[in-house]
Amino acid sequence: MASISIPSATEDAENIRKAVQGWGTDEKALIEILGHRTAAQRAEIAVAYEGLYNESLLDRLHSELSGDFRSAMMLWTADPAARDAKLAHKAMKKNGERYVWVLIEVACASTPDHLVAVRKAYREAYSASLEEDVAACPLYKDPLLKQFLVRLVSSYRYSGELVDDELARAEVAELHDAVVARKQPLHGDVVRIVSSRSKPQLKATFERYRQDHGKAIDEVLEEERRSDQLAAVLKTAVWCLTSPEKHFAEVIRSSIVGLGTDEESLTRAIVSRAEIDMKKVKEEYKARYHKTVTSDVNSDTSGYYNGILLTLVGPE
């Protein structure tokens, strides 16, 4: 089978220039080019574009596009670490559970090295550290919530596969005591475990919890979340760390159901997972809601915004 030939970064930059010059913008061409390139390829295109035309590709997209389509295209075209730094910075200016989600996603739903890159990008963009800004954010009034978020965004987890079964056994007891016996989901022991252990270690601990107590820890937290915001926050962290497809399927669904569409959350979820685990997100979505991401996006969005989202979602 012949391989598919992808144009060079210079060719893509030239074709993007053609799409944004003259009378009107060729939005379909922008989707076709940028929507089918990897993060590394998009970075090369941005460098080539600026070298050829002495202007930033992101600046040009901002001036040419509008609305939710512009937001999606700019988030997608941006460097992933810079994108997440910007999302975190914006999240700290808005109140509500959905904006706390953003910080947890940035801290927990990607690799330890990516979080380090986000912290670096944040310092470069805002001349401040992400950790210090979370600690100083006046919107996080509960000291336990603030401490938890600071620990998450400042963590650097072991990225290997090694698991300590005895440690898992011991930490199951600590989790159960804090979450169930004491009704303190963000007790110090919980914060220490969830903010420091590797993802394979946490998966082993949570599986051990299910075996020992007959119920998964996220199910326990789900029962508490309506009356306890901290339980809801911990559940989000547990999902982002061990099965992010569950969290992002929920974000997409909650963005679509009800009155109106939460385009900001919908865009963030699709853009941020398109290159990571979108296949798993789609499978989880279909299993849980008996609908496809594609069908729900189609029913709630339109135009070029719909076009870029469906391109990033890919075939079901």
Annotated binding site: 22, 24, 64, 256, 260, 300-301
Which residue from 210, 207, 209, 175 is spatially nearest to 191, judged by alpha carbons?
A: 175
Percent of the chain with pLDDT over 70: 98
Which residue from 252, 296, 221, 220 is spatially nearest to 98, judged by alpha carbons?
A: 252
Locate 113 and state its tokens.
Answer: 């090295």
Distance CA 211, CA 234 (A): 20
Residue 309, Cβ density class (10 Å: 0-12 exposed, 13-18 middle, ≥19 buried): buried
Side-chain half-sphere of 24: how many Cα atoms within 13 Å? 4
pLDDT at res. 177: 96
For range 149-175, the mean pLDDT:
97
The dihedrals phi and psi of 160, each to the nearest 5 degrees, come to -80, -175
Domains and CATH numbers, the chain: 9-65 (1.10.220.10), 80-153 (1.10.220.10), 165-242 (1.10.220.10), 245-313 (1.10.220.10)
**Is 264 within 8 Å of 71 (Cβ atoms)?**
yes
pLDDT beyond 80 at 20: yes
pLDDT grade for 2, boundaries at 50, 70 and 90: very low
Annotated binding site for Ca(2+): 22, 24, 64, 256, 260, 300-301
Locate 231 and state its tokens.
Answer: 């339980």
Distance CA 136, CA 13 (A): 41
pLDDT grade for 59, boundaries at 50, 70 and 90: very high
pLDDT tens-digit profile of 227-238? 788 999 999 999
Percent of the chain with pLDDT over 90: 93
Q: Is the dihedral of CA 267, 273, 279, 283 positive or negative?
A: negative
Q: What are the CA-CA distances from residue 113 to residues 107, 119, 127, 160, 286 (Å)?
A: 11, 10, 20, 12, 31
Alpha carbon 316 to chain centroid distance? 20
Distance CA 156, CA 120 (A): 13
Which three-class secondary structure state does DSSP give residue 164? coil
For range 105-115, the mean pLDDT:
97
pLDDT at res. 4: 60
pLDDT at res. 1: 37
For range 73-95, the mean pLDDT:
97
pLDDT at res. 22: 77
Distance CA 66, CA 1 (A): 40
Q: What are the CA-CA distances from residue 218 to residues 69, 211, 241 (Å)?
A: 35, 13, 12
Which three-class secondary structure state does DSSP give residue 301? coil
pLDDT at res. 24: 87
**Is 168 within 8 Å of 201 (Cβ atoms)?**
yes
**Angle, helix 303-313 to helix 67-77, in steps of 10 degrees:** 30
